[in-house]
Structure 1
Amino acid sequence: MLDDSIRPLIDSRSISPAPTFPTRTTMDTLDLSGGSGVRRKKLSWVVGLSYIVDWVILAAVGAVGYVLGHIEPNKRPFSLDDRNIAFPYTDPETVPVWLAVVISVMFPIVIIAIISLVFVPGATVPQGTPKKLIWQRKLWELHAGWLGLALSICCSWIITNGMKNLFGKPRPDLLARCQPDLVNVADYIIGGFFRNDTSRAFENVGFLVSPKICQNKNRAVLDDGFRSYPSGHSSSASAGLVYLSLFIASKFAITIPTLAATASSSGSTDASGAFAAFPSRTRVPSVKVSGPDSYELSTRTQSGLTTTPTEYALGSKGVSKQNQKIFAARRQAASPPLYLLAIAVIPFFASIFIAGSRWWDYRHHAFDILFGYVIGLVGAIFSFRYYHLPISRGAGWAWGPRSHDKAFWAGVGSYSYATDHVRGQYRSGDEEEALSVHAHQPYGQGSGLQNRPEPPIASRKGQGAGIELRDDQDTAYSGASTGREN
């Protein structure tokens, strides 16, 4: 029977039964990737297949975008005296198509691979972490980085080339490409006003002519003259290079300093500040991950910061609590070195150069360049956030893989593809699982609290009442009953 002294504590909380704490497991049986006492299963083939399908879809989208860029577009009628399309045809271009592909696609692929394989998972890895786990994280970050880049590029291509063919807007150098038949102009007039006076024909140029007036035999050059809107160079450059800038900034924590999230109104702290490469390993008592003032705290909130001798000294000198909080807040973040910022913005500046070259090469009108750049910019930001945590709070990590149950379909009412179908259950033993899971679902089955190591004796409180409590920094255990019978 349960002790009557703890029965009100259990009945007062609408939660599933509190977890039990078995005998502390050893490093040989402990699941270092997920924190449970059960060895982690291999990656489900269903999950792997779901990501293969993702790549197949992206390949199909990219292929459609490529085909759209090589079919005959709609051709908008134009005026022979339109000075906006009377610029010369420049050849060669400042940034030809092949060079734009190398810079916007191949270069990001290589840089993402170098960062993922060399710098990941970083200095947060505890000593003794199996190399297999380290390489799993490297390859997962590489996969997520490439997948996001492919999504950004493919979306940019299919949207841009589709719009080019639909609108058929003349380029600034169309007349030079067209080589119009000036002898038989009257045969091609389809709009505007024209006086049927051959002796004064060129005084009546306020009319629109059909694209059939063009005599250029090079169909590729002529067709490309009607693909001004939007700019493909601009959209591709921003899609690939802005994405790369975001990826670099994420991996090296290059962001404007911000305060960590504070405790919520319910009193629970946001544990999303657990930035260790393998968060579950930080709870292994025998492994020291970081010091009390390290960046890898289990929580970076003001309430979660460890009291330091400096704070004791400030309190003894009569410094107010508010000022102490300010002192603590100042230590939560600092500005990154400027050389890192310079490295991160180089791809962004390269994208601007590529987009600008389309202006002085007379390939696009100004609005075409700006609109194309926005297409790629939106695609880059969306694709990055689709596969990566926010830069300011994610410590450079990508989202974890989908769960086995929701690899292809989550169903109505599900808020996360990382959970199992049973409501509130997070898959146990997932290397990619964030510690925020424990803050929001502290007692759900599979939340990572089952089969956890026995909490240290020194951290227990209220033993006489049969209650085990962890310290304030581990709110997931607060108020948990042992569930033992008398």
Structure 2
Amino acid sequence: MPEIQLGAHTVRSHGLKVLKLHMHDWLILLLLGVIEIILNVIEPFHRFVGEDMMTDLRYPMKDNTVPFWAVPLIAILLPFIVVHVYYFIRRDVYDLHHAILGLLYSVLITGVITDAIKDAVGRPRPDFFWRCFPDGKGVFDNVTRNVVCTGQNHVIKEGHKSFPSGHTSWSFAGLGFLSLYLSGKIRVFDRRGHVAKLCIVFLPFLLAALIGVSRVDDYWHHWQDVFGGAIIGTIVSFFCYLQFFPPPYDTDGWGPHAYFQMLADSRNDQESNNANCLSVQPSEPENVYAEPQRHIEISRSNTRDGSLMLDEMESQRRPCISC
């Protein structure tokens, strides 16, 4: 397991560096937000709805048990708060940044997929009859027997967006990401058998499921719409989480990939610096050994010079035999 450096990488010390490194990811996220707005503005496909099909679309119009504005609070703000609480404990900007980025990607990718399918399919909601005919008097084409709606355009437009459920897919995308995030932080799969940890992990999924059930109870969606939305949100949340974090069952499942990559790079830099220092040290003994060798050569030359001088003096002392 890599060395843990608590409080060594905060928003103040490394926040700008991490943000610059992932600037393109935030630009793509902004593009997804624009696409999501466009998908909500365009007109969905108006599927043929015959007179005999209205039998299953006469459920009463009701208000939302979970309002539209509450879904971002539950699916985004709640995980956002949990991530920030963990940051104040861990002080790791890598975990904070990648958790927020992964959460937003999970929700926005799910939103784009959901609304694109909504516009393409154009399935009528269970209360479509009352959206199309607010006065309760059905009007149909004389030839095709297709509906000729007399209600308000924006109400009819929403009536063609039943499949899949946006409330459900957004909830499972945000809360599913939160569930994976918590499972990694509390180390659910540490093989110690603490079932209480599983209860904590399943709570976000339970909340998302209850939101999905409310859509059927309010007659805004068929059960297939909720089931499809749950699958989309769950799958996207898994992909987005694994893009930034190891699997929760992994030994290092408590931290993001970027954190461990940073530790590895720091360790490699330190080892390379140590190697450079060791490569410089052997050059010093060469001078140490070279210096004595120089003294030996000088002493030898001095010895030879001294021997020559002694020979000359000795020759001068000897008597000349020829004289």
Identify whether the pair has TM-score above 0.5, normalized to the shorter chain: yes
Q: Deviations over 1:159-188 (max 9, x none)?
A: 11111111111111100110089575344x
2:57 equivalent to 1:57: no
* Letter matched to residue 254 of structure 2: G
**Unaligned residue ranges in structure 1 (runs of 5+):** 1-31, 34-41, 121-134, 191-207, 258-332, 403-417, 419-429, 436-445, 454-482
| C-alpha separation in 2, matches of 1:354 and 1:62 | 23
Instruction: Tell whether the 8 Å contact from 1:152 to 1:239 is kept in structure 2 after alignment.
Output: yes
TM-score by length of 1: 0.50
Change (3 A) 1:368 1:177: same
Q: Report how many residues are paired.
A: 267
Instruction: Tell whether the 8 Å contact from 1:400 to 1:432 is kept in structure 2 after alignment.
Output: no
> Which of 205, 212, 219 does residue 362 from structure 1 map onto?
219
2:247 equivalent to 1:390: yes
* Letter matched to residue 450 of structure 1: S
Change (3 A) 1:112 1:163: same
Equivalent position of 1:230 in the other structure: 164
In structure 2, the residue corresponding to 1:222 is in which secondary structure? helix
2:26 equivalent to 1:89: no
| C-alpha separation in 1, matches of 2:201 and 2:170 | 18
Instruction: Tell whether the 8 Å contact from 1:117 to 1:142 is kept in structure 2 after alignment.
Output: no
**Post-superposition offset of 1:448:** 5.3
In structure 2, the residue corresponding to 1:350 is in which secondary structure? helix
* Letter matched to residue 247 of structure 1: Y
* Letter matched to residue 253 of structure 1: R
Instruction: Tell whether the 8 Å contact from 2:14 to 2:93 is kept in structure 1 after alignment.
Output: no
**Post-superposition offset of 1:117:** 2.0
Change (3 A) 1:89 1:352: same
Instruction: Tell whether the 8 Å contact from 2:245 to 2:253 is kept in structure 1 after alignment.
Output: no
**Post-superposition offset of 1:224:** 0.3
In structure 2, the residue corresponding to 1:391 is in which secondary structure? coil
**Post-superposition offset of 1:339:** 3.3
Quote the sequence identity (%): 26
More helix by share: 2
2:307 equivalent to 1:450: no
In structure 2, the residue corresponding to 1:389 is in which secondary structure? coil
**Post-superposition offset of 1:447:** 6.9
Quick check: which has more Rg, 1 or 2? 2
| C-alpha separation in 1, matches of 2:141 and 2:74 | 46
Equivalent position of 1:209 in the other structure: 146
| C-alpha separation in 2, matches of 1:156 and 1:77 | 27
**Post-superposition offset of 1:237:** 0.6
| C-alpha separation in 1, matches of 2:19 and 2:139 | 63
Larger RCO, structures 1/2 (Cα 8 Å, 6+ apart): 1
Equivalent position of 2:183 in the other structure: 249
Change (3 A) 1:366 1:432: farther
Instruction: Tell whether the 8 Å contact from 2:173 to 2:233 is kept in structure 1 after alignment.
Output: yes
2:263 equivalent to 1:431: yes
| C-alpha separation in 1, matches of 2:82 and 2:18 | 27
| C-alpha separation in 2, matches of 1:110 and 1:351 | 17
Equivalent position of 1:185 in the other structure: 140
| C-alpha separation in 2, matches of 1:359 and 1:434 | 53
Residues 97-112 of structure 1 aligned to structure 2 (within 5 Å)? 97-112=68-83
Change (3 A) 1:359 1:399: same
Equivalent position of 2:293 in the other structure: none
* Letter matched to residue 209 of structure 1: N
Change (3 A) 1:48 1:93: closer
Instruction: Tell whether the 8 Å contact from 1:235 to 1:376 is kept in structure 2 after alignment.
Output: yes
* Letter matched to residue 225 of structure 1: G
Q: Deviations over 1:235-293 (max 9, x none)?
A: 101000011011011111012x4xxxxxxxxxxxxxxxxxxxxxxxxxxxxxxxxxxxx
Equivalent position of 1:200 in the other structure: none
Q: Deviations over 1:306-348 (max 9, x none)?
A: xxxxxxxxxxxxxxxxxxxxxxxxxxx4123x33332222111
TM-score by length of 2: 0.74
> Which of 93, 99, 102 does residue 148 from structure 1 map onto?
102
Q: Deviations over 1:173-210 (max 9, x none)?
A: 100110089575344x43xxxxxxxxxxxxxxxxx404
Instruction: Tell whether the 8 Å contact from 1:72 to 1:223 is kept in structure 2 after alignment.
Output: yes
In structure 2, the residue corresponding to 1:140 is in which secondary structure? helix
Change (3 A) 1:251 1:46: closer
In structure 1, the residue corresponding to 2:69 is in which secondary structure? helix
| C-alpha separation in 1, matches of 2:178 and 2:204 | 7
* Letter matched to residue 87 of structure 1: Y
Instruction: Tell whether the 8 Å contact from 2:45 to 2:121 is kept in structure 1 after alignment.
Output: yes
